[in-house]
Homo-oligomer: A and B are copies of this chain.
Amino acid sequence: MKITITKIAEIVGVSKATVSRAINGSGYVSPQTKEKVLQVVKEYDYVPDSKAINLSKRKTATIGLVLPSTSGPFYGEVMRGVEVVLTPERYFILLMTFNVMEDPEKVRKRYISLVREKRVDGIIIFDPEADEETAKKVAKLNFPCVYIGKNFNNINVDTVSVDNFSGSYMMMDHLIKVHKYKRIAFLNGPEDSFDSIERFRGYRYALEEYGIGFDPKLVRFGDFTRKSGREICREFLESHVDVIFAANDEMALGVIEEMQKHNLVAGREMAVVGFDDAMWSQFIQPPLTTVHQPMYSIGKLAARMILERINTSDSHKEVMKTLLHTKLIVRNSCGCK
């Protein structure tokens, strides 16, 4: 036998409205009535049904969080950041990832439904492969939403991402100023990856800045996997470069592994650096010099932006495009001791 607010009201001998007010501390209730109500509530162990509250209040107190996967190097940090700001505000997190369905487009449809069905009050989307088409659809929903990792410049949607350009530049700065490297190879990521493009831009910019000629022969496209790191490493082995700057840690790891196979050690015969500061990057031999991405901060910021959107009724505040700084992590693979 289910116990509802109606029942409590009957037992106490007041109206549902009063019970509601007593429980929520909203509106006036005489201390005596309030006490009586609260006592019966406790006695019957009554807890309001959130489904009814949600419908009545037209909100769900939950935020959707879409991630590329759960097991990746830093998605956990994003989650943590999101949680840290959302939990104290009494929001719940609805998780959705790409690591389940074959077709990413299905996931995109699914996260769009999430908001169209009003199952969440806002949504944080980390979808590195999202196309502008999708982003436009999302923007059109006119709903609290922030994209992580893509700053769709010409689309009217909030974003928070990392300054890949300056991160890459900082790394180059270290390689050139501290190590005096000249022949710096760049192991790029996929051509259409926004991150890759920015990191490559940082590479080129630094080259120019320091008056080192850009040599297209020193650039190769990989696909962010360890395997492509290995393969491309082989190609570079003969061309006598000072350092391979891989656009992510996975590929850097591949390079290091390939070198080991040839009895070469990274940081001695040739330096190797990465980007991401993956969890394991400090554990490999030699520990990897890389660029740390502030995933935790990203999560926190994204969550704050969502709350901001939810709480400001002015449905047309200007779009927020935020950029966070990276941090250079110097370990040993660059040649430092």
Contact partner of A71 among B60, B77, B116, CB < 8 A?
B77
Closest to A280 in B: B280
Max count, chain B CB within 10 A of own CB: residue among A51, A87, A119, A253: A51
- Judge whether A47 and B100 touch: CB under 8 Å: no
Q: Which of A25-33, A88-96, A315-323 participates in binding chain B? A: A88-96
- Judge whether A87 and B100 touch: CB under 8 Å: yes
- Judge whether B54 and A80 touch: CB under 8 Å: no
- Judge whether A117 and B49 touch: CB under 8 Å: yes
Q: Which residues of B have CB within 8 Å of A87?
A: 100-101
Q: Which residues of B have CB within 8 Å of A1?
A: none
- Judge whether A51 and B47 touch: CB under 8 Å: no
Is the CB of A58 closer than 8 A to any CB of chain B? yes
**How many angstroms from the CA of A69 to the CA of B80 in the assembled complex?**
8
Q: Which residues of B have CB within 8 Å of A94?
A: 62, 92-95
- Judge whether A119 and B71 touch: CB under 8 Å: no
Is the CB of A285 closer than 8 A to any CB of chain B? yes
Is the CB of A134 closer than 8 A to any CB of chain B? no
Interface size on A, residues (CB 8 A): 45
What DSSP secondary structure best describes chain A's contact surface?
mixed
**How many angstroms from the CA of A316 to the CA of B51 in the assembled complex?**
25
**How many angstroms from the CA of A76 to the CA of B17 in the assembled complex?**
44
- Judge whether A100 and B80 touch: CB under 8 Å: yes
Nearest CB in chain B: distance from A24 CB, A: 13
Nearest CB in chain B: distance from A245 CB, A: 21
Q: Which residues of B have CB within 8 Å of A84?
A: 100
Nearest CB in chain B: distance from A62 CB, A: 7
- Judge whether A48 and B117 touch: CB under 8 Å: yes
Closest to A57 in B: B51
Q: Which residues of B have CB within 8 Å of A119?
A: 50-51, 92
- Judge whether B71 and A83 touch: CB under 8 Å: no
Q: Name 15 A/B residue pairs within 8 A (Cβ), A-sorted.
A: A47-B116, A51-B55, A51-B58, A54-B54, A70-B79, A71-B77, A72-B76, A75-B76, A76-B76, A87-B101, A92-B119, A93-B95, A279-B280, A280-B283, A283-B284
Question: Measuring CB to CB, which residues of chain A are less than 8 angstroms from any residue of chain B?
Answer: 47-52, 54-55, 58, 60, 62, 65, 69-72, 75-77, 79-80, 83-84, 87, 92-97, 99-101, 113-114, 116-119, 253, 279-280, 283-285
A51-B118, A65-B95, A70-B70 given. 19 additional CB < 8 A pairs?
A: A47-B117, A49-B118, A50-B117, A54-B54, A62-B94, A69-B76, A70-B76, A70-B79, A70-B83, A71-B76, A71-B80, A75-B76, A80-B97, A84-B100, A87-B101, A92-B96, A95-B95, A279-B279, A283-B284
